[in-house]
Every structure is written in C-alpha cells, then in structure tokens.
Structure 1
Amino acid sequence: MNAPEDENRVVRRLTEGRKPRGVPWRLRLAMLFTDAWPVGALLGVLWIVGLVQFVVERTIGWQAVAIYACVYPPAFKAGVWWTPLTHQFLHGGLFHILMNSSALAALGPALSFRFGVDLKGAVLFWLFFVLSGVAGGLTFLALQWGGAMPMLGASGAICGLWGALARLDREGAIVPIWSRGVGVQVRSFVIMNLILAALGFGLGMLSGQGGVLVAWEAHLGGFVFGLLVAPLLPVRYPWRDMVRAQPERP
C-alpha cells in the first residue's frame, strides 16, 4: 500500500471514527467512489429517487407523493404505515437534497469505515442509516400525531449518523453518553436545530403556510437513536492493521 502521506492521514482519521478536518475536498469526493463507496452508492440512490420523485410529481401530482410516501399523520392513521421508511429517500426540492447530500458526504465515511469497506460493511451502514430514518419518522409522528403537515427528507437518518459519531472518542472507542465530548456534540446539535427552526419559521411566515417548516422532531429521533445504539454497532476496521504496519515518514 503506497498511498501518499495525506491519504494515510485521512485513512487514520476515518478508521479512528473521526470526521476528517482539513482534508482536500477532491480527496473526500474521491473516497465516495473508492473506499467510502457505500456512502457514494447511498447518495446515488437518493438522487435517482429524487429524479423519479420529480417525474411523479409532474405527472400525478405532489398530493399523491405526500400521502403515500411522506410521513403524513392523517395518512398513517388511515393505514399508510410504510412512510416512516419511504420518507427518508424523498426531498422537497434541489436545495433540500443538496444540503442533505453534503451532510451525508461529510458524516458518512467515518461510520462507513467503522463498519468495513466490504459488502457486509456496506449493508450494515445502509441498515443503520435506514433505521435511524425510521426512528426519526416515528418520532415525528409521535410529536405531531394531531398535525396535518407531511414530512420528508434524509435529515433524520443523517442525524442518526451524527449521534453515533458523537459517542466515539479520537481513537474510535465508545464513550459514556454523559461524557464531555458527547455533551459538546449534543450542544452543537441543539444549536443547529434552533437555527434551522428559526429559518423554517421565517420561511413559513413568508410563504403564508405558517408553522416551522423544519422537521426538528425527525432530527431529534434520529440523533437520539444514534446516541443510544452506537455501543451496539459492530466494529470492522479492515485497514487498521494495514495502516499501522506502514512506517511513519519523518
């Protein structure tokens, strides 16, 4: 393995469960097509579904998508029970999917490497992503049971990745949920959602729809799910021994 020095540094950080800092964006992008391919494949699925969604909305209308694919409390009560699964693959426009894609590309590789870069690791990563999204969808339903606003997007699942990564220290070991590092991440999560809620409230007022047009409930459900489930996740670092076997350059 004769990777350049900066690539070795990225591998070490990712396999230790840390978000890479100061890594050239070209290298991050390249990883989505090589060793972090499960993340790249998931991004591809989101964009393909987004294209299908665009076509469906233009042919049969947005209302059908909202009822049968989004988390919509009245429809869920009527028996459309699968939407906590399907909603996470849909988005409310180009900006929405771009924002979620950026977050997934930033957070996904670290957890993907932890699961392993083979097919089994990919399945584990995808399964955790989907379950985080389901947790977010169910939390939204629980807190908006009497509401009538449809909810969609992968942000709840992505917040599950964030919650899991919050439980890892700099060496990739699980830390207690009451540790200082987790507290810092929880504070960042709360601040981010307060900002998004404020922006969503402003958009709701400007558009005349009212309310907060940000599903903070789904974010909360995914994040808490990641925090709680992280200790149960398997650790399959295929590169750890390879990286440590390399001599350090002066």
Structure 2
Amino acid sequence: MQRTWRQFQAQPWATYLFLLIQGLVYLLMTLAGGSENSIVLVDFGAKVNDLIAAGQWWRLLTPMFLHIGLTHLVINSVTIYFIGNQIEMLFGHWRFILLYLLSGFSGNLASFVFNTNLSAGSSTAIFGLFGAFFMLVTEFRENTALRAVGQQFGLFILLNLVFDVMMPGVDLAGHVGGLLGGFLGATVVGIPNMRLSVVKRIAAALIFMIAAGAFLWLGLNPR
C-alpha cells in the first residue's frame, strides 16, 4: 500500500485531475446543447461581466474549466499536459494546484476589466504556468537547463501574444493577466528545496493583492 501511494505521489496527478475536470465539463456541455452555445456557456459559468458585477463572483474561476468547441479543448489540454507535468514536478502537487487556480483567477479578473465579451478557456491558467516557469528562470539564472527551456517558452508566448493581437475575439487581457498572476503567485509560494528571498515573496503577495483589489474596483466601476 505504501509503495502504491508513493508511486501515485510521484505522478503529476493534479495535472491529470484538471484535464479530467475540463473533459467532463465539455461532455456535460455537449449533452446540454453544445459548448459553442452561448446559453450553455453562461449556464456553466463563462465569464460574463454584467453577471460578475451582479455578484456571481464564481465566474472569475469557473471559465478556466470551460471550452468553446472541441478544437479549443484539445489544444489547451495538450498544452496543459506538457507544461503541467513540468511545473507540477518542480513546484509540487499542492503548490501547482494553487498556482493554476490563482493564474486562472487573475486572468479572468484582467478580462473582467479589459474585455467586455463572454469568454472561457483554460488559457488564463496555462499562461500562468508559463509565468511560474519564468519566475524560476529569473530567480535561478545560473541553471542552464531552466534558462534554455525558458527561452523556448518565451518564443512560444511571444508568438501567442502576437496571434492574440492579430486575431479578433481572442482574450489578450486574460492571457496577460494569467501570465503576470502566475509569475507573482510562483514567487509567493516558492519551490521546494530552493530558497527565495522572504522580501521578494512578501512584495509579490502585496502586489498581487493590491492589483486584484484595484482590478475588482475598476471592473465594478467601469467608465
């Protein structure tokens, strides 16, 4: 039993859990009328600014588990599988779960302020995982392996952001918000067996909380 438990703990089970959740949600949405149906999306918790302003705060979290169409689900799931494996093994299961949720929240919060359209998708959390990796690259510059992978991720993110700008309907604010939230969140939670400055961790926590409060105010008081 102990050996089985250790083997389970050695697997990126949190990554698999998030993939399972969004797969099941997609199936339920399909049965309810289709994941591209706006009514179904709203019923399942997509980001709708007016409803968030009316008090449905859970819509700052639930959109990260919804996807608009099969292609959207597959692309995001494949990305989560590969990047999630790496981030979860580096940060540990519970830190990874917290980072994923914080990133999705910060991305949806930024979208709440800067994007008036209905939106959904795990890309807010995915960009947060990239942000977490960049925290490691900047904090541990002497690690050549981290730096090499970080350069590859940097090119990937740059291409995605350029694509976001050029393609209408893509939630650029959500992606940037998730990226910054993941960077700050990773600085706060740290990584096992690697020391991070306490001052940096406290500063990152304060920046995250102040920014979240400011964004909530801006979203609730649009000009």
Q: TM-score, normalised by structure 1?
A: 0.63
Distance 1:222 1:174 in 2: 22
Q: CA deviation at 1:184?
A: 7.9
Q: 2:95 aligned to 109, 124, 129, which one?
A: 124
1:85 aligns with 2:61: yes
Deviations 1:69-89 (A, max 9, x none): 111112222222210111110
Q: 1:230 aligned to 180, 186, 192, which one?
A: 186
Instruction: Assess if the C-alpha contact under 8 Å between 2:64 and 2:124 holds in 1.
Output: yes
- Segment drifting more, 213-222 vs 188-197: 188-197
Distance 2:38 2:155 in 1: 36
- Partner letter of residue 160 of structure 2? M
Q: Which has the higher helix share?
A: 2
1:138 aligns with 2:97: no
Which structure 1 residue ranges, 5 or more long, are not aligned?
1-30, 117-121, 201-211, 238-250
Larger Rg: 1
2:52 counterpart residue number: 76
- Partner letter of residue 177 of structure 2? G
Q: CA deviation at 1:34?
A: 6.2
Q: 1:47 aligned to 23, 30, 35, which one?
A: 23
1:216 counterpart residue number: 172
Q: TM-score, normalised by structure 2?
A: 0.70
Distance 1:36 1:51 in 2: 23
Deviations 1:171-199 (A, max 9, x none): x9545xxxx9878855652332112442x
1:189 aligns with 2:165: no
Q: 1:114 aligned to 76, 90, 105, which one?
A: 90
Distance 1:36 1:190 in 2: 27
Instruction: Assess if the C-alpha contact under 8 Å between 1:33 and 1:40 holds in 2.
Output: no
Change (3 A) 1:128 1:185: same
Mapping of residues 136-215 of structure 1, within 5 Å:
136-144=107-115, 147=116, 149-169=117-137, 174-175=140-141, 188-198=156-166, 200=167, 212-215=168-171
- Partner letter of residue 55 of structure 2? G
Q: Could you say which structure has the greater relative contact order, defined with CA pairs below 8 angstroms and 6 or more residues apart?
A: 1
Give the superposed CA RMSD: 3.0
Distance 2:38 2:55 in 1: 19
Q: CA deviation at 1:127?
A: 1.9
Which structure 2 residue ranges, 5 or more long, are not aligned?
1-6, 142-146, 194-223
Q: 1:101 aligned to 67, 74, 77, which one?
A: 77
Distance 1:236 1:142 in 2: 34
Q: CA deviation at 1:66?
A: 2.0
Q: SS of the residue aligned with 1:168?
A: helix
Q: CA deviation at 1:132?
A: 0.5
Superposition misfits of 4+ residues, deviation over 6 angstroms: 31-34, 180-184
Deviations 1:52-79 (A, max 9, x none): 1222235xx6315326611111222222
Give the percent of matched residue pairs that are identical in Structure 1 and Structure 2.
25
Deviations 1:90-144 (A, max 9, x none): 000100000101111121111111233xxxxx23312210110000000001112
Instruction: Assess if the C-alpha contact under 8 Å between 2:45 and 2:63 holds in 1.
Output: yes
Distance 2:157 2:164 in 1: 11
Instruction: Assess if the C-alpha contact under 8 Å between 1:68 and 1:80 holds in 2.
Output: no
1:16 counterpart residue number: none
1:56 aligns with 2:24: no
- Segment drifting more, 79-88 vs 226-235: 226-235
